[in-house]
Amino acid sequence: MFHGSGWWSYISFDEKQKPQVDRALLRRVFQYARPYLNSIAVVLGCILVTSVIELVPPLLYRDLFDTVIPNRDFSRLNWLALGMIGIPIASNLIGVVERYFSARMGEGIIYDLRNALFAHLQGMGLRFFTHTKRGEIISRLNNDVVGAQSAVTDTIPSIVTNTVTLVTTLAVMLSLEWRLTLLSIAILPAFILPARRVGRILRDIRRKALDYNAEMNNIVSETLTINGALLVKTFGRQARERERYRSTSRSVADIGVRRAMVGRWFFMGLGIASTLGMALNYWLGGYFTLTGVISAGTIVAFVAYLARLYGPISALINVQVEFITSLVSFERVFEYLDLPVEIEDKPDAIALHAARGEIRFEQVWFDYMEANERLGIKVTPPKAAGENGSESDNGREKEEALPFFIPSRRWALEDLTFTIPVGSLTALVGPSGAGKTSLTYLLPRLYDPTRGRILLDDHDLRDVTQESLAGQIGMVTQETYLFHDSIRANLLYARPDASEEALVAAARAANIYDFIRSLPDGFETRVGERGYRLSGGEKQRLAIARVVLKDPRILILDEATSHLDSQSEALIQAALEPLMAGRTSIVIAHRLSTILAADQILVIAEGRLAERGTHAELLAKGGLYAGLYETQFRPQPEAA
């Protein structure tokens, strides 16, 4: 992660920026509940029926003391006993139905929320993923969604149940003895006042706990993968990483202890308040009974209702705290759902199914910083070298952290205008950091130009659907990414409906079929995390086979063969020749053979098109390309 302002500062929230639990948030949560209104109605109906049924037992107690025992009525005693057995059975059976519909509703809401979040993140541009920790993304999809699920399946039904129980119990208590009821209500401030402060404290604790868990996930995802493990082991930093994980894990444990202790003190206070209310009611109720104001059965029934009063009050106070803390999970999920999508299809975008392959850049400028500002990402660039006095070269400023490199200029690409004819091979040549990769990333709309436009067969790329555009373009990048799956699954990712014959033909075209056939499991061989069970050349040839299977009209290739042995390099070059034949190909050239075969060479320097022509034409000019040829591409005497 880069320090200072950037995407991460945009999606992070400090204490002052945290969203408040308000009606807008609740309305937004309810939008996800709207498709499940029928289930909600059943749940509410079950809660209401259960609450009414459970009001009956205290009345049976009163009848037992006031009627059955004084009159020695054995028949009525039997009916009371049956009622005391039947009511809990009926209540629990209704509770089973309520739980089923509650769980179905809760799981459905979380299913929708999780899929909405995943789909939104799938639509995010590369800028988001290059500026966001992987562990943080995983935490939002897992921990926060599970926390939101708890709010829907447990907390909200508990609120409804206890509210209905409280209201119905108060109504019956008032009908029995209004003075005792007022006394019971008088101690409510002892429940409510502490709850407000505890709710705020636990809400902050909850957010901090989620942040610590996200950081712990990030350490795991960075250090317990192939790349991370290699880095840690080769630099001997196991002890440091263990300490880093131990420190974050300790923070998680400490915040958990703090949450437990705050909760324990809170519940102790609720218990004391309940005991106080119970004692006062026994005292006053006993006085009324001794003075003949109420019967003994009434005080027994009233005390039974008192438990049903203080129980829901305590539960509601606790649920209020739990609800506030669980809504933090919704807030964190909504924070990601509210992040702007950088590149979207226009409502009237067309689907391009059979491109010819002519590409035209028309006065294309690209600035990473401008895109940040357009998305609301706060980025403050350092002062240019020529500021406060002399001007820097062409007035360009230094930019802060960028996804692929840190350039010494504001504009990654400046005023590019050129045409790539149908079926031609165009080689991109230039110093490191010149903007070659940025140029290739504009074609599949991983980024959009800041100014100007790029046309494919006379269609502005912004007028074409991203899905159909991806179908026309195949990319082989320097770093080959393979899923931890079989060779077959990795190849079929390009075209899931490809036949076995097409699969074999693609492997043959990429000079990888003989290697696959030599493996004990053939195409079913698992390649390991990021393909690390294979060599660099084998991974590269699998990537080429994958693109061959896709059969795109336009090929974008970043030749990355300089780090391979001569045999692997020769095999890859042999695989590339038929792959580029007849396609519009754009190659970031690292080899002289590619440059010599190119129909045109574009020399990029500091984001500009410095020179353009064939190898012979550019050598004759004696300009930048001639210098690059002498230092990078001229064959060594031994090779000659």
pLDDT at position 16: 36
Average pLDDT, the chain: 77
> Can you spell out the DSSP letters for 306-354?
HHHHHHHHHHHHHHHHHHHHHHHHHHHHHHHHTSPPSS---TTPBP--S
Highest mean pLDDT among 16-20, 42-46, 561-565, 576-580: 42-46
Q: pLDDT band at residue 318, thresholds of 50, 70 and 90?
A: low
**What residue segments make up the domains of the chain, in order of their start?**
8-216+251-337, 359-380+396-483+530-633
Cα pseudo-dihedral 595, 596, 598, 599, rounded to 10: 140
Q: Which two tokens stand for residue 81?
A: 């006993």
Percent of all residues in the chain with a pLDDT value above 90, rounded to a whole number: 9
Lowest mean pLDDT among 22-26, 315-319, 554-558, 604-608: 315-319
Q: How many CA atoms lie within 13 A of 486 on its CB side?
A: 11
What architecture (CATH level 2) is domain 359-380+396-483+530-633? Answer: 3-Layer(aba) Sandwich (3.40)
353-396 pLDDT, tens digit per residue, is 888 889 999 999 988 766 555 555 544 444 433 344 333 333 33
302: region left, alpha or beta (phi > 0 left; psi from -120 to 50 alpha): alpha
pLDDT for 404 beyond 70 = no
Name the amino acid, one letter, at 196: R
Q: Which two tokens stand for residue 430?
A: 């230039």
Q: pLDDT band at residue 609, thresholds of 50, 70 and 90?
A: very high
pLDDT at position 364: 92
Contact by Cβ (8 Å): 135, 220: yes
- Residues 6 or more apart whose Cβ sits within 8 Å of residue 487: 516, 519, 522, 523, 524, 525, 527, 542
Q: pLDDT band at residue 460, thresholds of 50, 70 and 90?
A: very high
Lowest mean pLDDT among 121-125, 138-142, 359-363, 559-563: 559-563
Mean pLDDT, range 117-126, rounded to an integer: 82
CATH annotation of 8-216+251-337: 1.20.1560.10
Element (H, E) at 150: helix 145-150
Lowest mean pLDDT among 98-112, 369-383, 402-416, 526-540: 369-383
DSSP E strands: which ranges in 539-583? Answer: 554-558
8-state DSSP, 479: S
Lowest mean pLDDT among 49-58, 528-537, 564-573: 564-573
- Residues 6 or more apart whose Cβ sits within 8 Å of residue 47: 98, 157, 160, 161, 164
Which residue would you say has higher pLDDT here, 19 or 248?
Answer: 248
Per CATH, 8-216+251-337 and 359-380+396-483+530-633 having the same topology is answered no
pLDDT for 579 beyond 90 = no
Mean pLDDT, range 46-70, rounded to an integer: 81
pLDDT for 221 beyond 90 = no
228-271 pLDDT, tens digit per residue, is 776 676 667 778 888 888 888 888 888 888 888 877 777 777 67
- Residues 6 or more apart whose Cβ sits within 8 Å of residue 453: 362, 363, 364, 460, 461, 462
φ, ψ for residue 558, nearest 5 deg: -105, 95
Mean pLDDT, range 386-413, rounded to an integer: 45
Mean pLDDT, range 526-540, rounded to an integer: 78
pLDDT for 434 beyond 80 = yes
162-206 pLDDT, tens digit per residue, is 888 888 888 888 887 778 777 777 776 666 666 666 766 777 787
Name the amino acid, one letter, at 634: R
265-275 pLDDT, tens digit per residue, is 777 776 777 77
Element (H, E) at 274: helix 238-290
pLDDT for 8 beyond 80 = no
Percent of all residues in the chain with a pLDDT value above 70, rounded to a whole number: 81
